[in-house]
A and B are shown apart, each in its own frame.
Chain A
Amino acid sequence: MLVYTIRRVLAMIPLLVAVATVTFFLMHTVEGGPFDADKPLSEATRKNLEAKYGLDDSLPVQYVNYIKNLARLDLGISFANDREVRDIIGERMQVSLQLGLAAFAFATVFGLALGMFSSLNQNGMFDYLGVFLATAGAALPSFVLAPLLTIAFAVKFGWFNVLSSDYDLWQWFRLDFSNWRQMVLPTVALGFLPMAYVARITRASMLEVLRQDYIRTARAKGLRERRVVFRHAMKNAMIPVLTVLGPIFAGLITGSFIIETAFVIPGLGREFVRAVLIRDYGLLMGVMVFYAGVIAMMNLVVDLAYAVADPRIRY
């Protein structure tokens, strides 16, 4: 397993280099650069700026330098605000991660609960409610849900805040949840679709498992229903759920830009969109490689968790 893990981590390197390469050359086909503004810069200023950031080198030289820096985990410089991309990602990621973790927890907890209730109550009231919520969730993208939630709960009832900017990942680890009022709506809007997905998979997987012979055996030998469900059924039913949690987390992190735009949250996704608009390709490439890294890591985590959860799988 250790060997497998190391091999997989090493295999990520060429993939990330490929992502960086594709992004690099794609960005350099774009006409215009980060120093194009409504008011054009003087020729000398532009020359100086380009020299400062190495943009006057030939393309191959720029590329080699970029990859070299990447090997040192240096993601380059954001031309628009003259800062290390690494620092910007670190700063903005805190915000995105706080939101992403909250949405992930929401999606997992409620999705599992909904799916379990549905499956234990097949074709009953709870089941129809669960299936209805899971179906509605699949049809309500975050950008549809966000305004609706805002109208209902922030404008009409005033239960929650929107548009405040108190984001600090570490405060939650200090058990300080004082910003919960502003977090509820973005969390629900972002987490609703994955929640529906988790609920659907949990329900299907539980129904499958509950039909198995060993569950009948467990019941036949007189175990309490609670023990049958949580000990015997749930353990096996969780395996398919486990495999989608990784992609869901990666999707929450990379897809948060919609919610960040809707609620004006200063996260990494919004920074990426801004970078696209002002052609800040230093930042853009850095964020793209970073996101690709996140996705690859999550896939690895899922595969490893899979092997831990299911002893039949060996690497």
Chain B
Amino acid sequence: MAANSTVAQPFDFLREDLQTKQRGLWEQAFRRLVRNRLAIVSLCVLLLITVTALLADFIPAVAHHPADAQDYGSLEKSPSADFWLGTDGLGRDLWARLLEGTLFSLKIGILAQVVILSIGITVGMLAALGGRWSDTLLMWFTDLAYAFPDLLAIILFRQILLGREWPVIGDGNPQIPGFPGVLLVTILAISFVSWVTVSRLVRGQMLSIKETDYVTAARAIGASPLRVVAVHMLPNTLGAIIVAVTFGIPLAIFAEAALGFIGLGVPPPAASLGTLISDGLDHIQTNPIEILWPSITVATLMLCFTFLGDGLRDALDPRTRK
């Protein structure tokens, strides 16, 4: 294979170009992502955190102690062989609490994206494809939503949804094991405020894709409108949506943690990263290490999701590619 040595061959660039074109769009994007070391490391860290938190939920041994078991013999202990991260003011194991809180925050972050996506994509599509009136209405609605201060609107929504009887989820107290109503309420509050960003994005993408030649071609050969949207248009907005979701997860985690921090989090004995930080703040004089664990976890989660989002954007959006 002397031809493949370091000496550049004529038309090498062309050959490379031809080879790249044979790969599909997603495969190309995947290769670009894998080459981004920071994004891949972030992805691995995120997977590790998620798997550990999930395992602890199913296998008690991973958490070492039950998250709500109070041991009055060992209050505010430093990390030891028995309590890996120490204990809090009620003698609960901080490692178990941290895992529970992390899982809760991840649930918020990911499930909120599901709600945001289902509202955002539907409305964005309706605006782009439903004619002038629906578009005007949506744009007016987005302006209105952007006029509210985000976090304060989330607090307001949360208080409105909470504290009353709802079908299935009850009044915010844990009714379904592992899925307290307050989780759903927080997710809905975050989603109601955040879906406009996605719907704007989808609308913009749809409007520009609608004008492309391949959509015209698909129409010309007689594809039904439903097929054009489902097969040709939606898949092409997917890249932008994936990036938006990756940046949306840390935002939702941040919002929930902020709420938990000011005392509007999950009711005890459940824990979220925000309530853990707030608990830690109460004992900052006596046991300063307690606040460190959830703080590090929040910072790691936000950092990793941001790096992953940056990597995905570079991989999926050819326009910003260097």
Contact = CB atoms under 8 A, between A and B. Distances in A.
A292 B156 contact: no
A202 interface: no
Interface in A178-230: none
Contact of B258 (A141, A276, A277): A141
A139 B302 contact: yes
B151 A139 contact: no
Contact of B302 (A138, A148, A269, A279): A138
Contact of B155 (A143, A144, A150, A273): A273
A250 B277 CA distance: 26
The residue in B148, B157, B274 that gathers the most chain A C-beta atoms within 10 A of its C-beta is B148
Given A15-B147, A18-B144, A31-B164, A143 B261 contact: yes
B130 interface: no
Main secondary structure on A side of the interface with B? helix
B299 interface: yes
B69 interface: no
A239 interface: no
Interface stretch (B9-17, B218-226, B281-289): B281-289
B20 interface: no
B149 interface: yes
A143 B299 contact: no
A19 B148 contact: yes
Contacts of A32: 163
Nearest to B38: A135
Contact of B151 (A148, A255, A277, A292): A255
A141 B155 contact: no
Contacts of B156: 23, 26-27, 276, 284, 288
A291 interface: yes
Name the residue in B144, B156, B292 with the highest tally of chain A Cβ atoms < 10 Å from its Cβ: B156
Contact of B147 (A29, A30, A295): A295
B46 to A, nearest CB: 13
Contact of B284 (A19, A147, A261, A295): A147
Contacts of A120: none
A296 interface: yes
Nearest to A22: B144
A143 B152 contact: no
A3 to B, nearest CB: 21
A292 B148 CA distance: 6
Contacts of A279: 159
B303 A139 contact: yes
Interface string A257-296: 1100110000001001100110100001000100110011
A250 B151 CA distance: 12
B306 interface: yes
A43 B159 CA distance: 26
A254 interface: yes
A261 B262 contact: yes
Shortest beta-carbon contacts, A-B, top 10: A254-B149, A139-B303, A143-B261, A139-B302, A144-B295, A261-B262, A139-B299, A291-B149, A292-B147, A147-B291
Interface of B: 143-144, 146-149, 151-152, 155-157, 159-160, 163-164, 254, 257-258, 261-264, 274, 277, 280-281, 284-285, 288, 291-292, 295, 298-300, 302-303, 306
13 contacts: A15-B144, A30-B163, A31-B164, A135-B306, A136-B303, A140-B299, A144-B298, A148-B292, A150-B284, A155-B284, A276-B159, A277-B159, A291-B148
Given A138-B302, A288-B149, 5 more contacts: A143-B274, A147-B280, A254-B149, A272-B152, A291-B149
